[in-house]
């Protein structure tokens, strides 16, 4: 398996623009997580899905953020409009079961977002 | 809400020295996981601990879960330059999501 695939790897955008981050989880995994990592706040859980259904979005910073999982092999995280404070590395992770059945979460390589 | 803390924040060691990072939770955990993130990389799962007092070893790495299931530690014996990175614990309270600690950044001087 190719692992969790995220695109793009890097994104530079101007403030106010819409940004869409994409994730393909590992086939067969039933949980998908979106995390944001910054130096100041560390790894923050934004939202997670179970069997394509959003379960907990309490970590989504504000209404500018939205996430979808239209099918088991694809998820998007959208920021509209983007702001400089959204600059961070965004990770997608997937797992089999909520705790990974002893195998933990598999993280993608991340998308480094810079909003100027 | 649940909080997970780690100490130290940074650790610089000479190659060959031992290293330990400690993880403490504000609440009792059902299980705890450890991850390693290399500079510029992504977190990679190392291990999961579930039982009170559990000890697991992976080569030079020793993981321990406290008796009260509120703390954990990762010990590396005889560090190597390949051990460089940030080590995160992630604790899961009963019926809750995993919460990641802030991590301990390890530097190994050759």
> What is the tens place of the pLDDT at every residue in A22-54?
999 999 999 999 999 999 999 999 999 999 999
pLDDT category of residue B65 using cuts at 50, 70 and 90: very high
What is the rounded CA–CA span in Å between residue B98 and residue B92? 4
pLDDT category of residue A101 using cuts at 50, 70 and 90: confident
What is the rounded CA–CA span in Å between residue B1 and residue B26? 9
Res. B38: pLDDT tops 70: yes
CB A80 within 8 A of CB A18: yes
pLDDT category of residue A99 using cuts at 50, 70 and 90: confident
Cβ atoms within 10 Å of A71's Cβ, excluding its own: 8
- For residue B87, which of A60, B79, A100, B95 has the smallest C-alpha distance? B79
Q: Do A107 and B44 touch (CB under 8 A)?
A: yes
Res. B14: pLDDT tops 80: yes
Chain A contact for B16 (CB, 8 A cutoff): no
Cβ atoms within 10 Å of A83's Cβ, excluding its own: 13
Q: Do A42 and B45 touch (CB under 8 A)?
A: no
Share of chain A above pLDDT 90, in %: 90
- For residue A39, which of B92, B71, B9 has the smallest C-alpha distance? B9
- For residue A41, which of A92, A91, A88 has the smallest C-alpha distance? A88
């Amino acid at each position: 398996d190719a692992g969790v695939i995220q695109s793009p790897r890097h994104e530079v955008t101007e403030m106010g623009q819409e940004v869409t981050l994409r994730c393909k989880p590992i086939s067969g995994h039933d949980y998908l997580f979106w995390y944001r990592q910054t130096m100041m706040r560390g790894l923050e859980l934004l939202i997670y899905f179970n069997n394509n259904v959003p379960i907990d979005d309490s970590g989504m910073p504000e209404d500018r953020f939205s996430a979808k999982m239209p099918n088991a092999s694809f998820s998007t995280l959208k920021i509209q409009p983007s702001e400089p404070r959204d600059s961070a590395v965004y990770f997608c992770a997937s797992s089999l079961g909520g705790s990974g059945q002893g195998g933990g979460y598999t993280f993608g390589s991340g998308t480094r977002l810079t909003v100027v | 809400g649940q909080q997970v803390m780690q100490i130290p924040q940074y650790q610089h060691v000479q190659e060959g020295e031992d290293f330990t990072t400690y993880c403490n939770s504000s609440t009792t955990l059902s299980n705890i996981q450890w991850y390693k993130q290399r500079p510029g990389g992504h977190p990679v799962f190392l291990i999961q601990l579930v039982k009170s007092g559990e000890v697991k070893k992976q080569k030079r790495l020793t993981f321990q879960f406290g008796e009260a299931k509120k703390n954990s530690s990762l010990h590396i014996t005889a560090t190597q330059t390949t051990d460089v990175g940030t080590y995160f614990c992630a604790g899961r309270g009963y019926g809750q999501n995993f919460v990641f600690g802030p991590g301990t950044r390890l530097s190994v001087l050759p």
